[in-house]
Amino acid sequence: MADRPTRIGFAATPREAGPNDAVTLIAHSHIGAFDQCIVDYLHPRKFPIIGPASSWTLRATTLVATVGIFQFNTYDIGLTELIAKVWTA
């Protein structure tokens, strides 16, 4: 039987983290976790006021978090450097 190459996933391969990683993290949290909780548990048909209000609150919070991460990555040390400093502390 011939030796087959080992398959390593993209997340396991070493690479340089970029500014898009932080935006991807925020988008993943928005779409995957928080938005689905609102859709599942605060449906606008059952909660006509709280449902849409929570959806718009989540959108505003996501926008503020994205702008904050952008500012932190652009004008400060950046998310990757912060994690590296915390990891070695």
CB distance 44 to 52 below 8 Å? yes
Mean pLDDT of 20-39: 85
Q: Is 28 annotated as a binding residue?
A: yes
pLDDT value at residue 11:
54
- List, in order, residues 6 or more apart from 66 with CB less than 8 Å away: 23, 26
Residue type, 17: A
Cα–chain-centroid distance for residue 66? Answer: 9
DSSP letter at 13 equals S
Mean pLDDT of 24-52: 89
SS3 48: coil
Residue labelled with tokens 């690479």: 15
What does the pLDDT look like over 42-87, one tens digit per residue?
988 999 999 999 999 999 999 999 999 888 888 888 888 888 899 9
